[in-house]
C-alpha cells in the first residue's frame, strides 16, 4: 500500500509538471504568433521584399491580404521594371503574362521610368516586346534597355561576318549622365563586346569573299566612321571605310546603310540616291531633317521615305532606310531595317 501510494504521488507530481510545461509552450507560441503577424508588416518592409520578387510571384503575394495588395500598387514598386519575355517561358507568357502586362500598363504606365526587356531570338518573344513597346510609346521613360538571353541568330550563320575599324573612339559617353568622359576606348574592342567576340578588323575584309555589305547606323558613324558630327557635309570619311565602300561598289555588290550612315554614300558616291527619312520635320518625327538638305547639297538625290520603308538606288545598288533618324516606336524602326536587309538580299 505504501509503495503504491508513493507511485501515485510521483505520477501526480509528474502530471502537474507536464501541465505547466504545456501551458508555458502555449503561451510562448501565442506570443510568437503575435510578433509574426505578416499581414501587419510595415509597408516599407513589404515594398523592399516585393522588389526582389518576379512579376508572377508579386501578383500571387498581393492576394494574401489588403495590406500586401496596397503595396503591390505603390508607384515606387513600378519605377524600375523588367519584362521577362524569353523562352522557355512562352507557354507561361501566353497563359498569364499578357493579362498582367495589360494591368501594369493600365495602372502604372505613368510610374514606369526604367524599363528593360529580357528576350531571346524567338518570334513570340519579339512580338511580345514590340506589342508592349507600342503601348509604352507615350510614357515618360528615362531608360529603356534590352537584355538578350541568346546569341543573335545571324551570328550562327557561317556566311555572315562582322567587321569594325581598329581605331580610337572620338568620345566615350557616360550614358547615365549623357556626357562625354575622359576615358579612351577602341572601336574594334567595343564592337567586339557587342558582337560577343565574333568580329574582325575592317582592314582585313576581302570583298571577293562576300556578296554584300551593310553599315548599321548610330552616332558612332557620324563621329568615328566619318566626321559628319563635327563638319557636316564638309566631313571626311575614314580611309578604310571609304575603301570598303568603293570596293563593293566597283564589284557591283549591294550596299545597305541605315540611320545616319547613308551620309557615307553621299560623300563617297556623288549623284547617288539615298534616304534619311524626310527633308522636313513632319509632326516632330524628323528632328534631323536638315541632314536631307545637306545630302542634296552634296549633289545626291534624297528620297523622302517613312520609317517603315527603304529606298533602292538600283543603279548604284545602294539600299537605305532612316531608322533612328525618325522618332518612332522601335517596332516601326525594326520593320524599316527589315525592308532594307530584304532589298539588299534581293540584289545580292
- pLDDT tens, per residue, the chain with 348 residues: 445 555 555 455 555 556 666 565 555 555 555 556 777 788 888 888 888 887 778 888 888 888 888 888 888 887 777 777 665 444 444 434 667 777 777 777 777 767 776 766 566 666 777 777 776 666 655 545 554 444 444 444 447 889 999 999 887 877 677 777 888 888 898 888 877 778 999 999 999 999 999 998 888 899 999 999 999 999 999 999 999 999 999 999 999 999 999 999 999 999 999 999 999 998 899 999 999 999 999 999 999 999 999 999 999 999 999 999 999 887 788 888 889 988 998 998
Residue 161 domain-assigned? no
Q: Which of the listed residues 104, 134, 150 is the one where a domain comes to its end? A: 150
User: How many domains would you assign to the chain?
Assistant: 3
Same domain for 255 and 239, yes or no, is yes
Q: Which of the listed residues 51, 78, 105 is the one where a domain comes to its end? A: 78
Backbone angles phi, psi at 173, to 5 degrees: -105, 135
Same domain for 63 and 113, yes or no, is no
Q: Provide the domain limits for residue 63.
A: 41-78
8-state DSSP, 282:
G
Same domain for 135 and 60, yes or no, is no
CA distances from 321 to 233, 235, 259 (A): 19, 21, 6
CA distance 82 to 126: 15
- The cell numbers describing 79, all together, are 519605377
Q: What is the CATH number of the domain that holds 73?
A: 1.20.1280.50
Same domain for 67 and 119, yes or no, is no
8-state DSSP, 305:
-
Q: Quick one: angle between helices 330-347 and 123-136, nearest 10?
A: 130
Same domain for 222 and 302, yes or no, is yes
- The cell numbers describing 207, all together, are 570583298
Residue 211 domain-assigned? yes
Same domain for 241 and 314, yes or no, is yes
For 273, the enclosing helix (H) or strand (E) is: strand 273-274
- The cell numbers describing 329, all together, are 516606336
> Is the bond preceding 101 in cis, omega lying within 30 degrees of 0?
no
User: Which residues have a Cβ under 8 Å from the Cβ of 54 and sit 6 or more positions away?
Assistant: 84
The C-alpha R_g of the chain, in whole angstroms, comes to 31
Prediction pTM value: 0.59
Same domain for 341 and 306, yes or no, is yes
Catalytic center residues: 259
Amino acid at each position: 500500500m505504501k509503495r503504491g501510494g508513493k507511485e501515485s504521488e510521483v505520477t501526480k507530481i509528474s502530471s502537474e509538471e507536464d501541465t505547466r510545461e504545456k501551458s508555458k509552450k502555449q503561451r510562448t507560441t501565442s506570443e510568437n504568433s503575435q510578433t509574426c503577424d505578416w499581414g501587419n508588416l510595415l509597408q516599407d518592409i513589404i515594398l523592399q521584399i516585393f522588389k526582389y520578387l518576379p512579376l508572377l510571384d508579386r501578383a500571387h503575394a498581393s492576394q494574401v491580404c489588403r495590406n500586401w495588395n496596397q503595396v503591390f500598387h505603390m508607384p515606387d514598386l513600378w519605377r524600375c521594371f523588367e519584362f521577362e519575355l524569353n523562352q522557355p517561358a512562352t507557354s507561361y507568357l501566353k497563359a498569364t503574362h499578357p493579362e498582367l502586362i495589360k494591368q501594369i500598363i493600365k495602372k502604372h504606365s505613368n510610374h514606369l521610368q526604367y524599363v528593360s526587356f529580357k528576350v531571346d531570338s524567338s518570334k513570340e518573344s519579339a512580338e511580345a516586346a514590340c506589342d508592349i513597346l507600342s503601348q509604352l510609346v507615350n510614357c515618360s521613360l528615362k531608360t529603356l534597355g534590352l537584355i538578350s538571353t541568346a546569341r543573335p541568330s545571324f551570328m550562327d550563320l557561317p556566311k555572315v561576318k562582322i567587321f569594325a575599324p581598329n581605331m580610337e573612339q572620338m568620345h566615350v559617353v557616360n550614358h547615365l549622365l549623357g556626357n562625354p568622359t575622359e576615358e579612351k576606348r577602341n572601336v574594334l574592342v567595343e564592337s567586339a563586346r557587342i558582337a560577343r567576340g565574333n568580329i574582325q578588323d575592317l582592314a582585313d575584309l576581302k570583298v571577293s569573299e562576300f556578296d554584300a555589305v551593310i553599315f548599321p547606323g548610330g552616332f558612332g558613324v557620324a563621329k568615328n566612321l566619318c566626321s559628319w558630327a563635327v563638319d557636316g557635309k564638309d566631313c571626311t570619311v575614314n580611309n578604310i571605310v571609304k575603301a570598303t565602300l568603293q570596293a563593293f561598289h566597283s564589284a557591283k555588290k549591294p550596299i545597305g546603310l541605315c540611320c545616319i550612315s547613308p551620309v557615307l554614300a553621299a560623300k563617297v558616291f556623288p549623284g547617288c540616291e539615298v534616304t534619311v527619312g524626310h527633308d522636313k520635320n513632319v509632326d516632330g518625327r524628323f528632328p534631323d531633317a536638315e541632314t536631307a538638305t545637306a545630302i542634296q547639297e552634296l549633289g545626291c538625290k534624297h528620297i523622302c521615305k517613312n520609317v517603315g520603308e527603304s529606298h533602292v538606288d538600283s543603279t548604284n545598288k545602294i539600299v537605305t532606310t532612316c531608322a533612328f533618324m525618325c522618332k518612332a516606336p522601335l517596332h516601326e524602326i525594326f520593320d524599316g531595317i527589315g525592308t532594307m536587309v530584304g532589298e539588299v538580299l534581293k540584289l545580292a
